[in-house]
Amino acid sequence: MSNMIKTEHLRYAYQIGTQEKVKFVLDDIDLSISPGEFVAVLGHNGCGKSTLAKHFNALLLPAGGTVYVGGMDTKDEAHYWEFRKNVGMVFQNPDNQIVATVVEEDVAFAPENLGVPSDEIRKRVDEALKTVDMYELRRHAPHLLSGGQKQRVAIAGAIAMEPKCIVFDEPTAMLDPKGRKEVIDTIVKLKEEKHMTVVLITHYMEEAVRADRVVVMDKGKVLRNDVPRNVFSDVKFMKSLGLDVPQVTELCYRLAKDGINIRSDVMTVAECVDELIKLL
Amino acid sequence: MAIEISNLNYVYMAGSPFEKHALQNVNLTISDGEFVGIIGHTGSGKSTLIQHLNGLLKPTSGTICVDGVDITAKGADLKKLRQKVGLVFQYPEHQLFEETVYKDIAYGPKNMGLTQDEIDERVREAMNYVGLTDKYMNRSPFELSGGQKRRVAIAGVLAMRPDVLILDEPAAGLDPSGREEILTQIKALYLARKMTVLFVSHSMEDVARAAGRIIVMNRGTVAMDGKPSEIFSHAKELRSMGLDVPQITQLAASLAERGIPIDNNIYTIERAKATILMLLAQKEKGAK
Amino acid sequence: MLKDITLGQYFPIDSPLHRMDPRTKILSLILLIVAIFLANNPWAYVLAAAFTLLVVALSKVPVSMYFRGLKPIWFVIIFTALLNIFFTPGTKIYLFGYRTPMTWEGLILAGKMALRLVLLIISSSALTYTTSPILLTDGIEKLLKPLAKLGLPTFELAMMMSIAIRFIPTLIEETDKIMKAQKARGADFESGSVLHRVKALAPMLVPLFISAFRRADELAVAMESRCYQGGEHRTRLNEIRFHLIDAFAGLLMLAFFAAVIILRIIL
């Protein structure tokens, strides 16, 4: 299997009113994501990111074109549950994806639905909670946890399903800096230690910088699909879409524009320090 | 309009197993016309603090004076206070309820018992402040985009013409261009109306853009209070409180550690760029 | 205050009562309630009170939590007690030589009713404090299982119940927030005529409903993403099972119930 997820000429449209007028939310999207890859998807609100994500576990089916998950067409109803099981999803609002009143019961929800035997569920739940570092709080009531903790419970809930890929739809948008860090570190850990395929939809550039590849979307189209360094170094392009770049990238870009001899594709503070030390 | 807070304490659910000392001995004076940023992580007490300022919470002990009037005294006129001190909650669009944008914004002025003409004037004025044109007036607020909904909600508070405007995380959940828009508008509003603004956030970057003074809350107490440049020079302490320091401030701190003579309180890209250009010029001069 | 409502909240600790099968606890609670209402003499009351206290002790939940559960209904207890004291016909009481409208019979009846209500609330709280809502709904579902054959959607009912319980604290918090936000815009929920007050609720109820619908929508998508497909083939993390402790508790319960019946017959 060469691709975890692959889309070919994917189109999706909402009908406006009763007339023939349609609005393309996704317009001819060709993307492929390899197993074990960490892909970040950027774009401002309403650019079609979330709609795209919902195609990856067959929550939505394409209006045109095809989506393959694990090599199988998502329109194939015979594999319906496999798509769900293989691609886990974590959403923005931590409160609206927790079903149970005890942390471990919530993590058990997916395997319970899949009819996994009790002892096996116990094993999966314990392991998932340890992975997200929430094992100590397994008997707590979710509504008393912090936002970052709730979101880690939601991630554990997806892991317990034993998916090959997890899609994160703005998982940090409602969190404070501490919660954001907890969640992003957990996501990176999934990729690096569990070799999971990760798709991260986000507004935060510091998060996208940690991905293997960045996909930039606007008005239902994919405009850029490249390694983060190449995407962010095009500061002018990113700004024209109303997107941010890391502050250090912008600083170097502006210095270079003023005729200073500096690399304009730095992405992290450490890189920027090294570059500036050379000059100063 | 000045606000004076002295020895403010607030205890949640006193005497229960869930008891929590949310505010401890808070002493603050906010002068007329200041733009103050209040930062702190979730649970630091910042939201509890602002809810005291318009009487939504009653202090366990301590006093709060707004414009010389003790609002914690028995029989204080809370309705009047809430007209003077406007509070915009987090995700304010979740409180919209009327059929049209116009009616929703008019809710506050209507509760004040104003005449139809006055209400109309204020609604138009408020819409203008947040950049909503007349064509939105008769639209349903529920069919607007996220950013537009939020502007309607902010206008709903502005229509009461408060002297103090408190905003709790006004940019939460918006994309970068939405954030930019809201923050620019708030700054413009501050300059145009000459009101006192309290801006609560956990993003140092957002606060730094407009505030002339920053108050850092931690564990129910005021941990720091000063000009942005003073606050940002304590990058380490801020991070230990679970706050995020702008990348550019981290850069300056790292450079200083490596022996570059650079100020450790830089928090904007412009300032960083200017400083680095200056250092380069100095070096060139030295070489000659 | 809205936050004071603790009825129906699980207290996550370990105790003999926590370890019991929810089915045993539910059936025992039903028996206990019946016993409390069958009790008709002082000894039976003492026995019922002692039994309830034993349950409280075994639950290891702080006694203050039980008082908290009683708080919202103090008013009902006192009101019914007063009605009984003053409106039960019988021998008038002389207090400091004066004839009062109270009667002995009323006083005794009031005492009995108050005790019954308090025991009722405490014993129900003991169930909800020691049983996680999931186990509670599991227990109810299992007990109702025979009805599934008659076409009753027992699984769906149980799922709905547990989700409702899960969202109670979230919605309470939300209500509190919306109320505050509207108050900040000059809303007045506390004064005026009844009609005025009902009208004043719209700014609170409309956003609350919209938010509840939005949450329901998002939750449905999240549940679907986690392979939710209805009740068939579903397994459980903690399959509920009868243990030795359940057999013991069941016997104790039956003995207590028999004692109340016997006291009723012989006294």
- What lies within 8 Å, CB to CB, of B218 at 6+ separation is B40, B41, B44, B241
**Strand partners of residue B167:** B88, B199
Mean pLDDT (chain A, rounded)? 92
Interface of A with B in 199-258 (CB under 8 A): 203, 206, 242-244, 246-248, 250-251, 254-255, 258
Q: Do B89 and C184 count as a contact with CB atoms less than 8 A apart?
A: yes
- Helix-helix angle C42-59:C104-130, to 10 degrees: 20
Q: How is chain A split into domains, by residue range?
A: 5-227
The percentage of chain A sitting over the pLDDT mark of 90, rounded to a whole number, equals 77
pLDDT given at position C2:
41
Contact: A273, B251; criterion CB under 8 Å: yes
Helix (H) or strand (E) holding B82: helix B78-84
- Closest to A40 (Cα-Cα) out of A179, A177, A172, A182: A172
User: B97: which chain C residues are within 8 Å (Cβ-Cβ)?
Assistant: 202-203, 206-207, 210
Q: Bridge-partner residues for A221, per DSSP?
A: A218
Answer yes or no: is pLDDT of A157 > 60: yes
How far apart, in whole angstroms, are the C-alpha atoms of residue A236 and residue A246?
Answer: 13
Q: How many CB pairs under 8 A join A and C?
A: 107
Does the model's ipTM exceed the 0.95 cut?
A: no
Over the stretch B231-274, which tens digit does the pLDDT of each residue have?
988 888 998 888 888 899 999 989 988 888 888 788 889 999 99
Would you say residue A10 has pLDDT above 80? yes
User: Beta-strand (E) ranges in chain C?
Assistant: 92-95, 98-103
- A-chain residues within 8 Å CB-CB of B254? 269-270, 273
- A255: chain B residues, CB-CB within 8 Å: 273, 276-277
Residue with tokens 């309630």: C33
Cβ contact A91–C228 (<8 Å): no
Closest CA to B102 of B62, B136, B73: B136
C225 CA: distance to closest CA in chain B (Å): 23
Residue of C nearest to B142 (CA): C210
pLDDT confidence bin for A20, thresholds 50/70/90: low
Amino acid identity of A191?
K
Write out chain C's pLDDT in tens, 267 residues: 344 444 456 777 889 999 999 999 999 999 999 999 888 888 889 999 999 999 999 999 888 888 887 887 888 888 888 888 888 887 777 776 666 777 888 888 888 888 988 999 899 889 988 987 778 888 888 888 888 888 888 888 888 888 888 888 889 889 999 999 999 998 888 777 788 888 888 899 999 999 999 999 999 999 999 999 877 778 888 877 888 889 999 999 999 999 988 988 887
* C-interface mutation test, from A99, A145, A168, A169, most C Cβ less than 10 A away: A99
Partner B contacted by C19 (CB < 8 A): no
Cβ neighbours of A97 in C, within 8 Å:
218-219, 222
Q: Contact, B41 vs B35, CB < 8 A?
A: no
pLDDT per residue of chain B (288 residues) written in tens, 0 to 9? 789 999 999 998 776 666 788 999 999 999 999 999 999 988 899 999 999 999 999 999 999 999 889 998 888 888 889 999 999 999 999 999 999 999 999 999 999 999 999 999 999 999 999 999 999 999 999 989 888 999 999 999 999 999 999 999 998 888 888 888 899 999 999 999 889 999 999 888 888 888 999 999 999 999 999 999 899 888 889 988 888 888 999 999 899 888 888 887 888 899 999 999 999 998 888 876
- CA dist A38 and A61 (Å) reads 23
CATH classification code of A5-227: 3.40.50.300
Place of tokens 């609604």: B123
How many other C-beta atoms are found inside a 10 Å radius of the C-beta of residue C266?
Answer: 8
pLDDT of B21 reads: 87
What span, in angstroms and rounded, lies between the C-alpha atoms of A20 and A33?
A: 34
Residue A3: which of A71, A57, A97, A63 has the closest Cα?
Answer: A71
Query: Hey, what amino acid is at B228?
Result: P
Q: In the 3-class helix/strand/coil scheme, how is B171-223 assigned residue by residue? A: CCCCCHHHHHHHHHHHHHHHHHHCCEEEEEECEHHHHHHHCCEEEEEECCEEE
- Chain A environment of B150 (Cβ under 8 Å): none
Here the tokens at position B4 are 């004076």
Tell me where in chain B the CATH 3.40.50.300 domain(s) lie.
3-228
Contact B89 C64 (CB under 8 A): no
User: What is the reported pLDDT for C5?
Assistant: 45
Are B277 and A255 an interchain contact pair (Cβ–Cβ within 8 Å)?
A: yes
Q: What is the pLDDT of residue C1?
A: 36
Read off the pLDDT of residues A66-100 as tens digits, 9 standing for 90 and up: 999 999 999 998 888 889 999 999 999 999 999 98
What CATH homologous superfamily does B3-228 map to?
P-loop containing nucleotide triphosphate hydrolases (3.40.50.300)
In DSSP terms, B259 is beta-bridged to none
Are the CB atoms for A153 and A131 separated by under 8 Å?
no
Distance set, CA C256 to CA A194, C53, C253 (Å): 55, 13, 5
**Helices C133-148 & C154-184 angle (0-180, nearest 10):** 140
Please state the pTM of the whole predicted model.
Answer: 0.85
Nearest to B276 by CA among A128, B287, B288, B256: B256
Between B and C, how many residue pairs show a Cβ–Cβ distance under 8 A? 58
